[in-house]
């Protein structure tokens, strides 16, 4: 028993290619060219899922992106799972595996459905907020179960095996939509020689022409489509993108297109191909030819499987050769929907009746239906569908549209398919992404794009042009206009001839009245989120009158379909309920993306090791070979510690610290920012941006500087050396390098452009190897012949040029450890060779490589700050006990001085940097821990500071820390307490932040 | 994704190449010592928040690394001009009417 609903002939499918697929474990067959939805319908599968709240059985109602119910889980393996795929947008391929995303134990027999039946009336909008409010502590428990009961698909538990790409595109004209309007526009623009991109979300170009009854030049419309596509393919400046949804319209004609290159081939892309591509397009002009969605009518039980959009019926019959039933009842308020009945009739199927809400319809299509003997009931509509798991009949009654009343008991017509059409809603989404609200038009009963500053043109259905001849002419004209504005000569061409029809006006009917009113069977407005007409009316009665509030309170338009079929009906019902017009109600905001985009497409290639750029020093390979554990400092990989066999971080750090203090250690300091500063005003510039004085720094000397912002707070620090009278070499923190360079440029370019000074980043050009420890001089002397390392010849805080290991070098005698230290700078490309020679010469001194952890520990033992660790943007130099570094009498009001002199910066009791010594030397104060003076005070406690740096493993042999305490500098010897989350309290003594070698003698030897 | 004309490079480049740096034309007081704490606080922290024409500082960080000024409409994000540091804007809030109100005044638009 297969494909019992497949018509014997017809459709744009290849009946010679049979494709097997499974749905909910059962195997079915379809044809190449089918959508998954078409193939399911061909096999008579009607229930595809259960609704979100009431767990009602749901079926396929549309044929395109607007489908709210056929949301399926696709994937034949764990790694290839894709949740929430619209079956109407998924091309069928051999071996496709699909399942419903909800329904337990299965969609046909769902337990939750009983709850929906029984509890439905007790689950009005706001149900979750109202019911699960108390006790508040239980919300997280409730949430888990609500989520389980109401969920959609699931994410895969294995890595995605496919690749995804980004592509930047520039074009003169981007055309969104390749239906009749878009194709015409593309033809016009492309013929002018403009660079054109034409994108359409469907598997092939053509849009409504793929299933229309209309002819062009007397021939099937698809023939014209083929001819146009062929011509476009021949033009070199044209890029054609089928299976590509333009999903976001961003500023300045920047749009994103999500192209699905291989979703129609299998659940994995073929080897060597990417699965999806995101095109980032900058367009000179945009032509929006997105068309319009048909609206369903809202009536009782309109969600039972077997209720469909009229246009979808035509699509399934003509495009896929599928009849979703045998006996059709059509309910409509317009002429266009009559096509569904005519298509159904021409396929040899029975049209039971057409219920037309209008009083006396006499349009061309109406007359054609009459001529075919189809029964038409005027001033009527389907007021409710019969059946529970599938439509068994339709109750059609006379209605008064104006009075919103049912005026006859009506009759129940036996049928298994009810098609409805309430009119058409232009697809205004992209036009509204940048905030421009759409405008209501009474003549078409729909919203059209409003005015916008973007350089765009609307053509066809998107602005209410619906008659095919008009659509094509409009498209052509729009294409000419876009190309002309983009600077090309575009001319008109001959347009295909269409058959003129007399189409009459639509009557404004959104919700069909019911004799029982809101007590009648549920009338669904948003099927994906189970929002009913009664629910919307209730929301307005409860005071939610703004369309944005109605949306959020009822969940109207919340789902993955973003209310494509429900929103206009919903706001029309809300407007009527409040007593205002539809334009007064307005629409909710439209935001990208128009349809869901997979995470893979968003990530592109930026995953795994390409997620973020990583920076390596010239010595990285050596670190890796020598077992370094790394930490991220900004984007840099820096050795954190070098564990030997069997060591954990504490053991390694203790060993490294001891080696540095006892003999000599080696640190790769290449990542610190280095800025070359030159110019006659360089010195004066330094005076203005540093807290201390630079006027008297001689050539060959180096000085530590603090950089503050205008508020007086420290934001970076580093040593700057004088290379020449007009030449300085500044270092910054690793993470602050780019920030500092931008800061210098900001002031130079915008405040002091008259100063002659230039800045160049040289961070990557120099590698820096720091030798630190009492034996560092001996070690370095083995590597240089031309640098006099004698204590008096090469004093502390100076630098020298010479050769190290045969390579030109600058050597700086700076110390961050408090030990005798030399920082050897060589051109980065030479660094590895120099390093190897240093390692060789260092063997006799037990030269020990150390990482950032040991670096942090050793500087902390000396009370040296690390900006960003001990500072947080709220500490000025005085707070850091670094008043020695502040030149309050410098002639220019340097950046930070005025800030430091604000009242709040001069008050007593500011948090000040001190040392903290746990009373129990084995206890470690967690970094960030809050400090109090009295641990027994009631909660909330008065917090007087926090721990900024804390180290258990070090060279001192006891746990110590740095922190800030209110008035700390005057509280030496006092106790502070750090209450912990587990209730314990760590007691510490406030001490000097210099724990080791307080006189600073060791760096000066 | 703004498309910004760098007046130094002389071409339109994508927003990703730039870094926004806040309100433009805020000169550092020449005599900070003469400023009261309140005046200094205003210089540091207070910024305009107009609905409409805004003059702002941008830095072409991934290009020429030069700062320049941009006149941008904060509602429509239209960039009306870009001009170098030291130059004055041709388009100002006084000279040009603020951006047009939206065409549909729905219930949600009472602000």
A958-969 residue pLDDT tens: 999 999 999 999
Model pLDDT, residue A164: 97
Q: Are A774 and A819 in contact (CB under 8 A)?
A: yes
Cβ separation of B76 and A902 shorter than 8 Å? no
Distance between CA A311 and CA A295 in Å, rounded?
Answer: 10
Distance between CA A569 and CA A587 in Å, rounded?
Answer: 11
A739 touches chain B (CB under 8 A): no
Nearest to A1003 by CA among A803, A809, A863: A863
pLDDT above 60 (res B110): no
pTM of the entire structure?
0.91
Nearest to A268 by CA among A101, A156, A153, A152: A156
Determine the length of chain A.
Answer: 1005
Q: pLDDT class for B107, splitting at 50, 70, 90? A: very low
pLDDT in tens, A317-372: 999 999 999 999 999 999 999 999 999 999 999 999 999 999 999 999 999 999 99
Cβ separation of A587 and B66 shorter than 8 Å? no
Two tokens at A72?
A: 């399926």
Cβ separation of A750 and B105 shorter than 8 Å? no
Model pLDDT, residue B19: 97
Tell me which of B20, B108, B109 to substitute to probe the interface with A (most A C-beta atoms closer than 10 Å): B108
Give the HSE-up count for residue A953: Cα atoms under 13 Å, Cβ half-sphere: 16
Model pLDDT, residue A142: 65
Which of A450, A742, A903 is nearest residue B102 as measured by Cβ atoms?
A450
Residue ranges with strand state E in A33-107: 49-50, 57-58, 71-74, 82-86, 96-100
A755 touches chain B (CB under 8 A): no
Q: How far from the centroid of its chain's Cα atoms is residue A939's Cα? A: 41
| Beta strand pairing call for A393-400 and A411-414 | antiparallel
Distance between CA A222 and CA A211 in Å, rounded?
Answer: 8
pLDDT in tens, A465-504: 999 999 999 999 999 999 999 999 998 789 999 998 999 9
Tell me which of A898, A899, A902 to substitute to probe the interface with B (most B C-beta atoms closer than 10 Å): A898
Can the peptide bond before residue B6 be classed as cis, meaning omega within 30 degrees of 0?
Answer: no
Please tell me the distance in Å from B91's CA to the nearest CA on chain A. 17
Q: pLDDT class for A152, splitting at 50, 70, 90? A: confident
Strand partners, A715: none
Q: Are A526 and A570 in contact (CB under 8 A)?
A: yes
Please tell me the distance in Å from A756's CA to the nearest CA on chain B. 16
Cβ separation of A710 and B44 shorter than 8 Å? yes
> Helix H segments across A486-615?
533-541, 547-554, 567-578, 582-585, 599-603
* Residue A543 burial (CB count, 10 A): 9
Q: What is the DSSP string of A202-264?
A: SSSTTGGGGS-S-EETTEEHHHHHHHHHHHHHH-TTEEEETTEEEEEEEGGGEEEEEEESSTT
Q: pLDDT class for B101, splitting at 50, 70, 90? A: very low
Please tell me the distance in Å from A738's CA to the nearest CA on chain B. 10
Cβ separation of B21 and A746 shorter than 8 Å? yes
pLDDT above 60 (res A866): yes
Query: What residues of A are in contact with residue B103 (Cβ under 8 Å)?
Result: 436-437, 439, 450-451
Nearest to A880 by CA among A731, A735, A714: A714
Please tell me the distance in Å from A915's CA to the nearest CA on chain B. 32
Q: What's the average model confidence in pLDDT over A750-758?
A: 98
Query: What residues of B are in contact with residue A549 (Cβ under 8 Å)?
Result: 108
Distance between CA A871 and CA A332 in Å, rounded?
Answer: 70
Cβ separation of A252 and B3 shorter than 8 Å? yes
Distance between CA A317 and CA A209 in Å, rounded?
Answer: 14
Query: What residues of B are in contact with residue A550 (Cβ under 8 Å)?
Result: none
pLDDT in tens, A270-296: 999 999 999 999 999 999 999 999 999
Strand partners, B8: none
pLDDT above 90 (res A925): yes
Which of A251, A453, A545 is nearest residue B1 as measured by Cβ atoms?
A251
Please tell me the distance in Å from B37's CA to the nearest CA on chain A. 6
Q: What's the average model confidence in pLDDT over A567-575?
A: 96
Q: What is the DSSP string of A340-377?
A: HHHHHHHTT-EEEEEEESSSS---HHHHHHHHTT--EE
**Sign of the four-CA dihedral A744, A746, A752, A757:** positive
Distance between CA A531 and CA A552 in Å, rounded?
Answer: 11
**Taking the CA atoms of chain B, what radius of gyration do you get in angstroms?**
17
Backbone angles phi, psi at A299, to 5 degrees: -145, 175
A451 touches chain B (CB under 8 A): yes
To 5 degrees, how large is the angle CA A40–CA A41–CA A42?
A: 90
Which of B15, B78, B107 is nearest residue A453 as measured by Cβ atoms?
B78
Q: pLDDT class for B100, splitting at 50, 70, 90? A: very low
Q: pLDDT class for A451, splitting at 50, 70, 90? A: confident
A:B CB pairs within 8 Å: 108
pLDDT above 50 (res B111): no
Cβ separation of B102 and A753 shorter than 8 Å? no
Q: pLDDT class for A149, splitting at 50, 70, 90? A: low
Residue ranges with strand state E in A333-462: 350-356, 376-377, 380-386, 393-400, 405-406, 411-414, 417-421, 423-426, 439-441, 446-448, 456-458
Residue partners of A473: CB distance under 8 A and separation at least 6: A184, A495
Q: pLDDT class for A418, splitting at 50, 70, 90? A: very high
Distance between CA A253 and CA A285 in Å, rounded?
Answer: 7
Q: pLDDT class for A108, splitting at 50, 70, 90? A: confident
Model pLDDT, residue A109: 67
Model pLDDT, residue A203: 97
Strand partners, A246: A257
Q: What's the average model confidence in pLDDT over A154-183?
A: 96
Q: Are A356 and A310 in contact (CB under 8 A)?
A: no
Model pLDDT, residue A721: 98
Q: For A550, which residue in chain B has the nearest alpha carbon?
A: B108
Two tokens at A168?
A: 């930047």
Model pLDDT, residue A52: 80
| Beta strand pairing call for A196-199 and A238-241 | parallel
Query: What residues of B are in contact with residue A449 (Cβ under 8 Å)?
Result: none
Model pLDDT, residue A111: 60
Cβ separation of B104 and A282 shorter than 8 Å? no
Which DSSP letter does residue A844 get?
G
Nearest to A653 by CA among A869, A863, A850: A850
Cβ separation of A893 and B31 shorter than 8 Å? yes
Query: What residues of B are in contact with residue A250 (Cβ under 8 Å)?
Result: 1
B79 touches chain A (CB under 8 A): yes
pLDDT in tens, A122-146: 566 666 556 655 666 666 666 666 6
Distance between CA A776 and CA A778 in Å, rounded?
Answer: 5
Q: Hey, what long-range contacts does A429-432 have (CB within 8 A, 24 or more apart)?
A: A429/A290, A429/A562, A429/A590, A429/A594, A430/A176, A430/A246, A430/A248, A430/A249, A430/A255, A430/A288, A430/A290, A430/A594, A431/A249, A431/A288, A431/A456, A431/A458, A431/A462, A432/A587, A432/A589, A432/A590
Which of B1, B103, B110 is nearest residue A437 as measured by Cβ atoms?
B103
Share of chain A above pLDDT 70, in %: 95
B66 touches chain A (CB under 8 A): yes
Which of B1, B57, B107 is nearest residue A547 as measured by Cβ atoms?
B107
Q: For A759, which residue in chain B has the nearest alpha carbon?
A: B65
A442 touches chain B (CB under 8 A): no
ipTM metric: 0.89
| Burial letters A358-373, b for 16+ CB under 10 A, else e | beebebebbebbeeee
Which of A254, A583, A893 is nearest residue B1 as measured by Cβ atoms?
A254
* Residues 74-113, chain A, touching B (beta carbon < 8 A): none
pLDDT above 90 (res A93): yes
pLDDT above 80 (res B7): yes
Tell me which of A168, A170, A252 to substitute to probe the interface with B (most B C-beta atoms closer than 10 Å): A252
Q: For B34, which residue in chain A has the nearest alpha carbon?
A: A898
A27 touches chain B (CB under 8 A): no
B22 touches chain A (CB under 8 A): no
A580 touches chain B (CB under 8 A): yes
In a 10 Å sphere around its CB, with 0-12 CB exposed, 13-18 middle and 19+ buried, how is residue A144 labelled? exposed
A586 touches chain B (CB under 8 A): yes
Cβ separation of A253 and B106 shorter than 8 Å? no
Please tell me the distance in Å from A992's CA to the nearest CA on chain B. 33
Q: For B36, which residue in chain A has the nearest alpha carbon?
A: A902
Model pLDDT, residue A55: 86
Q: For A892, which residue in chain B has the nearest alpha carbon?
A: B31
């Amino acid at each position: 028993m297969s494909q019992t609903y497949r018509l014997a002939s017809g459709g744009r499918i290849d009946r010679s290619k049979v494709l097997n697929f499974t749905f909910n474990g059962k195997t079915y067959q379809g044809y190449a060219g089918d959508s998954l939805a078409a193939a399911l319908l061909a096999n008579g599968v009607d229930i595809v899922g259960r609704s979100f709240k009431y767990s009602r059985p749901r079926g396929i109602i549309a044929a395109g992106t607007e489908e709210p119910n056929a949301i399926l889980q696709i994937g034949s393996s764990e790694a290839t799972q894709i949740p929430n795929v619209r079956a109407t947008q998924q091309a069928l391929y051999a071996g496709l595996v699909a399942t419903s995303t909800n329904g337990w134990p299965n969609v046909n027999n769902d337990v939750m459905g009983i709850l929906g039946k029984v509890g439905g009336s007790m689950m009005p909008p706001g149900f979750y907020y109202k019911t699960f409010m108390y006790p508040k502590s239980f919300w997280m428990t409730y949430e888990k179960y609500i989520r389980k009961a109401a969920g959609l698909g699931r994410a895969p538990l294995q890595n995605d095996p496919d690749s995804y790409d980004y592509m930047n595109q520039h074009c003169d004209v981007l055309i969104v939509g390749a239906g009749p309007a878009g194709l015409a526009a593309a033809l016009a623009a492309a013929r002018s020689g403009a660079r054109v991109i034409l994108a359409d979300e469907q598997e092939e170009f053509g849009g409504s022409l793929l299933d229309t009854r209309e002819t062009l030049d007397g021939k099937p419309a698809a023939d014209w489509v083929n001819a146009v596509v062929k011509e476009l393919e021949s033009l070199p400046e044209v890029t054609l993108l089928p299976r590509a949804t333009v999903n976001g319209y961003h500023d300045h004609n920047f749009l994103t297109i999500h192209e699905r290159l291989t979703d129609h081939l299998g659940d994995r892309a073929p080897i060597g191909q990417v699965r999806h591509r995101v095109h980032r397009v900058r367009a000179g002009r945009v032509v929006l030819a997105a068309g319009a969605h048909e609206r369903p009518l809202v009536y009782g039980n309109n969600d039972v499987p077997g209720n469909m959009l009229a246009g979808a019926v035509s699509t399934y019959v003509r495009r896929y050769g599928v009849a979703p039933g045998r006996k059709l009842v059509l309910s409509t308020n317009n002429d266009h929907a009559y096509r569904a009945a005519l298509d159904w009739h021409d396929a040899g199927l029975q049209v039971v009746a057409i219920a037309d809400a209008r009083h006396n319809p006499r349009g061309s299509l109406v007359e054609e239906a009459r001529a075919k003997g189809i029964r038409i009931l005027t001033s009527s509509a389907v007021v409710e569908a019969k059946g529970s798991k599938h439509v068994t009949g339709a109750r059609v009654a006379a209605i008064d549209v104006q009075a919103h009343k049912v005026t006859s008991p009506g009759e129940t017509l036996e049928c298994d398919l009810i098609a409805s059409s309430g009119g058409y809603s232009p697809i205004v989404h992209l036009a509204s992404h940048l905030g421009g609200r759409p405008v209501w038009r009474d003549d078409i009963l729909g919203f059209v794009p409003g005015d916008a500053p973007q350089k765009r043109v609307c053509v066809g259905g998107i602005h209410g042009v619906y008659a095919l001849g008009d659509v094509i002419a409009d498209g052509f004209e729009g294409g000419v206009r876009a190309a002309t504005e983009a600077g090309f000569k575009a001319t008109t061409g001959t347009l295909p001839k269409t058959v003129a029809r007399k189409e009459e006006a639509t009557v404004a009917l959104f919700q069909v009245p019911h004799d029982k009113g809101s007590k009648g069977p549920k009338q669904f407005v948003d099927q994906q989120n189970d929002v009913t007409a009664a629910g919307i009316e209730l929301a307005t009665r409860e005071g939610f009158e703004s369309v944005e509030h109605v949306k959020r309170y009822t969940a109207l338009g919340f789902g993955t379909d973003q209310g494509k079929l429900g929103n206009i009906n919903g706001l029309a019902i809300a407007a009527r309920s409040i007593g205002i017009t539809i334009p007064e109600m307005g629409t909710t905001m439209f935001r990208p993306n128009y349809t869901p985009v997979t995470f893979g497409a968003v990530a592109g290639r930026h995953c795994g090791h390409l997620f973020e750029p990583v920076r390596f020093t010239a010595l990285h390979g050596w670190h890796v070979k020598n077992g370094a554990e790394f930490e991220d400092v900004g984007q840099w990989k820096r050795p954190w510690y070098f564990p030997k066999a069997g060591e954990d971080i504490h053991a390694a750090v203790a060993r490294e610290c001891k080696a540095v203090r006892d003999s000599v250690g080696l640190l790769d300091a290449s990542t610190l920012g280095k800025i070359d500063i030159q110019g006659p005003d360089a010195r004066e510039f330094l005076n203005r941006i540093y807290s201390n004085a630079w006027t008297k720094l001689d050539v060959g000397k180096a000085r530590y500087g603090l950089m503050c912002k205008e508020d007086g707070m420290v934001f970076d620090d580093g040593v700057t050396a004088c290379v020449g009278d007009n030449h300085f070499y500044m270092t910054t923190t690793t993470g602050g390098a780019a920030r500092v360079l931008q800061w210098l440029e900001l002031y130079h370019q915008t405040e002091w452009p008259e100063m002659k000074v230039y800045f160049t980043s040289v961070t990557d050009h120099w590698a820096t190897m720091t030798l630190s420890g009492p034996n560092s001089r001996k070690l370095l002397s083995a590597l240089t012949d031309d640098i006099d390392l004698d204590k008096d010849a090469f004093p502390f805080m100076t630098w020298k040029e010479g050769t190290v290991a045969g390579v030109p070098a600058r050597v700086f005698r700076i110390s961050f450890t408090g030990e005798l230290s030399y920082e050897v700078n060589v051109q980065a490309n030479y660094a590895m060779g120099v390093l190897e020679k240093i390692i060789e010469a260092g063997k006799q001194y037990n030269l020990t490589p150390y990482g950032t952890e040991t670096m942090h520990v050793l500087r902390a033992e000396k009370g040296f700050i690390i900006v960003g660790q001990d500072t947080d943007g709220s500490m000025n130099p005085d707070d850091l006990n670094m008043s020695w570094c502040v030149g309050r009498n410098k002639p220019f009001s340097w950046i930070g001085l005025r800030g430091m002199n604000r009242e709040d910066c001069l008050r007593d009791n500011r948090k000040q940097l001190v040392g903290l010594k746990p009373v129990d030397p084995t206890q470690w104060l967690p970094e960030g821990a809050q400090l109090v003076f009295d641990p027994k005070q009631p909660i909330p406690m008065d917090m007087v500071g926090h721990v900024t740096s804390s180290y258990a493993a070090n060279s001192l042999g006891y746990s110590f820390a740095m922190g800030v305490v209110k008035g700390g500098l005057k509280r030496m010897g006092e106790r502070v307490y750090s209450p912990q989350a587990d209730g314990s309290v760590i007691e510490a003594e406030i001490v000097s932040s210099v724990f080791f070698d307080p006189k600073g003698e060791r760096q000066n030897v | 994704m703004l498309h910004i004309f760098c007046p130094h490079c002389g071409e339109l480049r994508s927003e990703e190449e730039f870094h926004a740096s806040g309100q433009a034309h805020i000169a550092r007081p020449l005599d900070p010592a003469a400023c009261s704490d309140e005046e200094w606080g205003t210089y540091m922290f207070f910024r305009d928040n107009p609905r409409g024409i805004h003059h702002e500082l941008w830095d072409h960080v991934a290009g020429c690394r030069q700062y320049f000024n941009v006149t941008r409409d904060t509602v429509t994000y239209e960039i009306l001009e870009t001009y170098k540091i030291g130059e004055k804007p041709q388009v100002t809030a006084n000279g040009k009417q603020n951006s047009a109100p939206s065409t549909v005044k729905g219930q949600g638009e009472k602000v």
